[in-house]
Amino acid sequence: MRFLVLPASICLALPGLTLGADSPADRCAGLYSLSDADHAVESGVLVSTTGDTPAHCRVRGTIDGTIRFEVRMPAEGWTGRFMFHAPGGLAGVIGDTSSLLDDGFAMATTDTGHDSENDPSFYRDDHAKLNFAFRANHLSTVLSKRIIQEFYGRPVQHAYLWGCSNGGRAALVEALRYPDDYDGIIAGAPAVDYGHGLLAWALEVTRHQGRNPLTPESVVLLEANTRRACDLLDGVADGLVGDPRKCTVELLELDALECRNGPAADCLTAGQIDTARYVYTGITDESGAVVVPGVYPGGELGGDFELWVTGPVPFLEGTASDTTVEVLEAVMHRKPGFSIETFDPVRDLDELKDTMVSVDIPAPDFSRFQESGGKLIIYNGWHDQPCRARALEGFLAEAEKLNGEGLDDYLRAFLAPGMVHCIGGPGAWAADYVQAIVDWVENDTAPDRIIAEHPGNFTFMEGQVAIGGRTVSWSEAILEAGEALEDRKRFSRPLCPYPQYARYRGSGDTNDAENYACVED
C-alpha cells in the first residue's frame, strides 16, 4: 500500500507523537480512566514490535456490560487515521486490529456483543440481536475515538471502516444510521438482504439439495458449461464471464446436460438440473417472478458451491446454508408453532422481513452521509452466493431512485468478475480498496477504475487461511500468499464503477488491465 506520510518536521510538532513527560507505556496504562457506568476500559498494555507489527498500545474492555471491543494504536508514527473492522458472519469474535498499524493507522473492532462465531442462538435475545444489528459497531466507534484522542492528545483526523459480508451490511448501516461516524467506508459483499432474502435463499438451497443434490463433480460440469456459453461475451476467451448480466439461464441450456442413458459422471439428472436452475435463478412466485434473486453463472469452482451447496466444509457441520437455516429458526423463535418444514419463502417472506427489520439495512437514502462529506466504496463478486450480485443491483437501483443524480460523487460500486464471496475465485479480484478510499477522502481522487490482480485460484476458505489475521489489508496478504503457488497465472483487470464493465479493446496482452476499457452497453 502507499499512503501519504506527513513530513517528519510536522510529525514532531503534533501532540502525542513525541515522548513528553509521560511515555507511551504510561499513557497506555492510564486509559482505564475513561471507564464510567457504561464503559469498562481496561488498563492498556504496550505491546512490543513483532515482525511487521510495530510497538503499540492495546486496549480492551466492554460496553454496556456485553459488547467487547479492542483498540490498538501505534506507539510512534500515527498518521491521524483510524480504521474500524466490522466483523463478518455471525460476529462473536474480536476481528483484525493490527494489519494496518505499520501503515500508521490506529485500529479497532468489536465482537458485537456475543460470543461464538458460528452460533446463532444470540438471536433469541433481543438485546444481543440489536447490538449485532447496529448498536455495537457504533458504540465501539464512539469509544474508540475517545481512547485514541486520549492516548495521542489529538482527535482522529480521518476515520475509516471496512467490513465484508455481514461486515459489509454493518458498513452500510453505519453510513445510513450514523453518517458522521466515518469519513470513508468500504462495504465488501454487503449482505443487503441479510435478514430475509439470504435466509430464505439458503433454506431453499438445503431443500433442493435434500431432494436432488448437486455433487462436486456436478459443479465441474456446470463450470465448463458456463464457459462454453458465456466466456466470449466480453470479447476475450479467458475462462471468465466479464459481464455476467449477459449470461442468462437460457444461454446456459441446462437441459442439454441431462443424462440420456441413466446417471453418469458426465451429465446431470433432471433433478440436479432443477437444483442448478434454482441456484442460478432464485426463488420465484407462482407467476414465475423472481422474489429472491439467485447467483450469476460463473466462478463455479471458486469455492462458493462447495461452501454453500455441496459441502463438505471442514469447520461446519453441513454447509453454510445449513447454518443459515439455524439462523432462520432462531430469529422466528417467538412465532407460535413455527416450523422450518412449513415455512414458505414466498408466502412468509414479509413476516420474516418484519421480524428482522432491525438487522436489515434501512432504505438507502444517503443524503445525510453525503452532507457529512462521507465517501463509500462497495465491492462484490459477481458470483457471490450468499451476497448475490443481483440483490446488490436492486439495492443500488433503489439508492439511485432515492438520491437522484450525483450519487457517484460519494458512492461507487465495483463488481468483480470471477470473484465469489468476499475473497476467492478464478478472476482478478485482489484489489487495494483501502488505498482507493484514502485517496478519495483525503485527496478527492474518485476511483474511476481500480486495478485488480489474480493472486491464484484460492477458494473462499483457502483465502481466509492465506490472509491469516490480516483481514483488513487482505489484498496485500493474498498477493503475497499467491507468490508461493506454482500454477499461478498472472493477470490483471480493471474493476469498473457499476454499471460499467471491463471489455477487451481488441489488441494487446489479454492479461494486462491496460488493454481493457470500462464500458456500459
Q: Are 261 and 335 found together in one domain?
A: yes
The full DSSP string for 277-331 is HHHHHEEE-TTS-EEEE---SS-GGGSHHIIIII---TTSSS-HHHHHHHHHHHH
Residue 155 C-alpha cell reads as: 482527535
Strands 81-86 and 158-164: parallel
> Pick from 127, 156, 185: which residue ends a domain?
156
Q: Are 216 and 351 found together in one domain?
A: yes
**Considering its fold, how many domains does the chain have in total?**
2
Q: Are 289 and 222 found together in one domain?
A: yes
Q: Are 34 and 136 found together in one domain?
A: yes
- Locate the DSSP E strands across 76-224: 81-86, 105-110, 158-164, 184-188
Q: Are 218 and 281 found together in one domain?
A: yes
Region of 337 please: left (phi>0), alpha (psi -120 to 50) or beta. left
Three-state SS at 58: strand
- 239: which DSSP letter? S
pLDDT of residue 12: 35
Cα distances from 348 to residues 54, 120, 306, in angstroms, run: 52, 20, 28
DSSP bridge partners of 58: 45, 72
Q: Is residue 520 part of a domain?
A: no
Q: Is residue 30 part of a domain?
A: yes
- 10-residue mean pLDDT series, the chain (521 residues): 44 38 90 97 97 96 97 98 97 96 98 92 96 98 98 98 98 98 98 96 98 96 97 91 96 97 91 98 97 98 96 87 95 94 96 96 98 98 98 98 96 98 96 98 98 93 90 93 82 97 94 96 85
Domain that holds residue 50: 1-156
Residue with cell 507523537: 17
Q: Are 152 and 204 found together in one domain?
A: no
Q: Are 149 and 234 found together in one domain?
A: no
Q: Are 222 and 125 found together in one domain?
A: no
Residue with cell 478519495: 440
Q: Is residue 231 part of a domain?
A: yes
Q: Is residue 95 part of a domain?
A: yes
Q: Is residue 328 part of a domain?
A: yes
pLDDT of residue 203: 98
**422 CB-near residues (< 8 Å, 6+ apart):** 88, 164, 165, 188, 189, 381, 384, 387, 460, 463
> Pick from 156, 183, 211: which residue ends a domain?
156
pLDDT of residue 262: 84
Q: Are 231 and 87 found together in one domain?
A: no
Q: Are 201 and 138 found together in one domain?
A: no
Q: Are 145 and 275 found together in one domain?
A: no
Q: Are 145 and 207 found together in one domain?
A: no
Q: Is residue 327 part of a domain?
A: yes
Q: Is residue 444 part of a domain?
A: no
Q: Is residue 58 part of a domain?
A: yes
**199 CB-near residues (< 8 Å, 6+ apart):** 324, 325, 327, 328, 331, 352, 356
Computed from CA positions of residues 368, 499, 220, 204, in that sequence, does the dihedral angle turn out positive or negative? Answer: positive
Between CA 161 and CA 86 the distance in angstroms is 7
pLDDT of residue 8: 36
Between CA 316 and CA 306 the distance in angstroms is 12
The C-alpha angle with vertex 70 and arms to 152 and 374, in degrees rounded to 5, equals 70
pLDDT of residue 461: 87
> Pick from 104, 124, 156: which residue ends a domain?
156
The C-alpha angle with vertex 441 and arms to 438 and 446, in degrees rounded to 5, equals 90
